[in-house]
Structure formats: C-alpha cells, structure tokens
Structure 1
C-alpha cells in the first residue's frame, strides 16, 4: 500500500513542476533574447526536456497513488520505476551537476547573462537546483525496482544518441549551438565531451541503483520473497 507520505510527496512535486512548466512555456510569447528559441524552441534544451520528464514521472506516480488497481498498478508501476531509475534520476542529477559546474567556471558558456531578464531566478533554480533534492527525496520516500543494468544502459545510450543527433541537427540547420560551450570544441573534442557526459550519466544511474538498494534493501528482499 502506498504510504501517505509518498502520496503527498508525489502530488506536491507534480503540482510544483506543472507550475514551473506552465510558467516557462508562457515565456515563449514574450520578447526573447536573440537566438534563445530559434529553431526547435525550448525543446532543444536538455533542461527543458528534463523538466518535462520530471513532470511526467511525478504525474504518473501521483496517478498510481490516487487510483491503485491490481492489473493497472503492476504495468504502471513497472513504467514508473523504469522512468525513474533509467531517466528521471540520472538525467535530472546530470542537469544539475553539469549546469552548475560550467556556470561556476563561466556562465556565458551555458547560461548567458542576457537570459536573466527573460527567466527569473526562481525558475532558474527550479530547473537547475531543486531537481537534485527532489530526486533524493523520491529515493527516500519510495523504493524502485531497477531493470537489468545492460538494458538500462542501452536505453540511456539510445536516448543520449538521439539528443546528440538532435542538437547537431539544430546546428547544421541554423548554425547555432544549443549551448555556447559547444562552439569551442573541435569535432574530436565534441566526441570526447559527449562521451564524457554519457560516462557521467551512466555513473549517476549506478549511483541511483546503489542508493535505492542501500535505503530499501530489506524491503526489496521482502517483496522478492512474496513474489516467489
């Protein structure tokens, strides 16, 4: 049975992300800094894609909490666990860690100062800071069943390759890199940078698996025993 804490947590976080998403989408109709939404709009930014991902995950978790059912619960729970373990946790953590690492070095490489007049600080922190504690909170309030590592990494690799292809396509189409940092790399440098990023994301997936096992190992053993 879903705990009251998990139910309240999922509904609250979903409401928060829905508000942030609505506020950010509304910005599309305002006067924008040059090039920010050229070709592909916000859908070319990993931060925005991650925001949509987090909203979908917590929305699904809230639906499962509010409308439990034997058959639907099994299918939806498997989907929920897959979304969280393979995508929501590693991608969300990656967005936060990479953004603030580059921002600390030179914000113009990832988040030019001109954006401050367009995106208020609370939205910036909502999509680049609070994602991390929210994901750690999810680890604490509910256990998740992780898929086989090889299947998870294959899915991560496929999605990572798809996003890489998308931002390269944007550059070839309009001559603008999604993030200014990418313009400083040679072709070999870009390959190395993306390989490094996938290594980090893979490590974050493994970290999520370890954290889940650490906090819920006893509960997971009981669930496995009952299933047998």
Structure 2
C-alpha cells in the first residue's frame, strides 16, 4: 500500500512538472502569426485548456497525498479525495483521453487538420508528446496507483456535458469575434473550415457523444481493474 501511494505521488509530481514546462514554452508571434495573436490566443485550443486541467488535477493529487485520504470506503473519504475523484470522473479522464484520441486520430487521417507539418520546426517532438500523449498514458497509470470512487452518474455526466457545451460555446464565440474583427470566416481548427454548417454541427455532436462514451469507459476501467474488481464500487 505504501509503495502504491508513493508511486502515485511520484507520477503526480512528474506529470505536473512536465505540464508546467510545456505551458512555459514560449511561442513566438512572428513565427506563429495568427495562432497566438487571434482572439483567444493559445487558450482557444482544447489541448492547452486540457493541460491546465491535468495540472490542476495532479496538484490536487499531491495535496491529497499530504492532507487527504485514498480509500474506497465512502464514509472515510476526505473532502480532497472526493474532489479528486469527481474531477477524475467528470473532467480529467474524459477530456484528457478525448484530446489524445482525437488528436492522434485526426493526425493520422490528415495532420494538416490539427498539427500542420511546419509546426515540427517550431516545437520539439517531446513537447508535442507532453501535450497529446502524456495525458492519456498518465491517466491510465494513475488509475493503477490511486483508488477512485465514482460519483453518481447524474453528477459525473452533468460535469462532462457542461464542459463540452462550454468549450463548443467558446469555439463559436471566438469564431464570431474573429468575423466581427477581421471579416474572415476562420475557425479554431482547420477541419472546421472544411465542413458545412450541418456537418460541423454533427462533428460537435459526435465529439460530445464521444466524450460521454469516454466517461463510461473510465468508469468501467476503474471498476474492473485487475485484482480490484471486487472492491471498486460506484455510488
């Protein structure tokens, strides 16, 4: 148990440090142009928002290690563990896995949709993997070293839906601001420029449904991990 807990702390510190380094990486406006000067700047990208979400989550894990609990018994869980488990279920896991799967899926279909080739000369490969690979791997490992008790599905799914609706609203808001400012029909991601309004709506709907599906995958993964299958329960 002690080794498991220590491994959880080491993982949390490592991921937090990697994300802090990635977020501190300077993007030169003269080389990135509109990508960092347009409305929303880098915060229009779900990848960047996810990095901040993951960092916040792992910082909570570190604080919980020092002052909280790590148990499956509902009555013995501290406030910090309840907060950690809620964030894992309704935000960190579905959003983190969505970013990884969606990015690499679109990357292999046509990388120009999400990560144009010229970015290879601007960003080191390790930075790309910290942004788009590490979150998914870390979440799978994190679930092996921390006990999670999922919240009620109503609460967990509500959080997932709120996050996706908020981000989709943010994307449309930035598109509107860009149109009013520059009179250009430009979306956050190049793939959205290629879709008609109908298919764009279906794309957003499909993305949200995929995120909801990832919630259930995370729940099942948490419930049926080897050697813990009989212990993990949901409220």
Query: What's the TM-score, normalizing by structure 2?
Result: 0.85
Instruction: Report the equivalent of 1:34.
Output: 33
Instruction: Report the equivalent of 1:194.
Output: 204
1:99 maps to which of 91, 100, 103:
103
1:60 aligns with 2:60: yes
- Measure the CA separation in 1 of the matches of 2:119 and 2:23: 13
1:72 to partner: Cα distance? 11
Contact kept? 2:68, 2:78, Cα under 8 Å: no
Contact kept? 2:97, 2:214, Cα under 8 Å: yes
- Which runs of 5 or more structure 2 residues have no equivalent in the other structure? 70-74, 179-183
1:29 to partner: Cα distance? 5.2
Change beyond 3 A, Cα 1:117–1:20: farther
Contact kept? 1:17, 1:51, Cα under 8 Å: no
> 1:75-114, CA deviations, whole angstroms, 9 ceiling, x for partnerless residues?
1111100001111111111111110110001111111122
- Measure the CA separation in 2 of the matches of 1:87 and 1:143: 17
Contact kept? 2:157, 2:212, Cα under 8 Å: yes
- Measure the CA separation in 2 of the matches of 1:137 and 1:63: 19
- Measure the CA separation in 1 of the matches of 2:151 and 2:68: 22
- Measure the CA separation in 2 of the matches of 1:41 and 1:32: 14
Change beyond 3 A, Cα 1:126–1:58: same
Contact kept? 1:60, 1:80, Cα under 8 Å: yes
1:153 aligns with 2:157: yes
Bigger Cα displacement from structure 2, 27-36 vs 176-185: 27-36
- Measure the CA separation in 1 of the matches of 2:58 and 2:161: 23
Instruction: Report the equivalent of 2:9.
Output: 10
Contact kept? 1:20, 1:126, Cα under 8 Å: yes
Query: What's the TM-score, normalizing by structure 1?
Result: 0.87
The number of aligned residues is: 222
Change beyond 3 A, Cα 1:3–1:50: farther
- Measure the CA separation in 1 of the matches of 2:118 and 2:20: 21
Instruction: Report the equivalent of 2:216.
Output: 206
1:30 to partner: Cα distance? 5.9
Change beyond 3 A, Cα 1:139–1:58: same
Change beyond 3 A, Cα 1:43–1:7: farther
1:220 aligns with 2:224: no
Contact kept? 1:10, 1:62, Cα under 8 Å: yes
1:59-98 correspondence to structure 2 within 5 Å: 59-68=59-68, 74-98=78-102
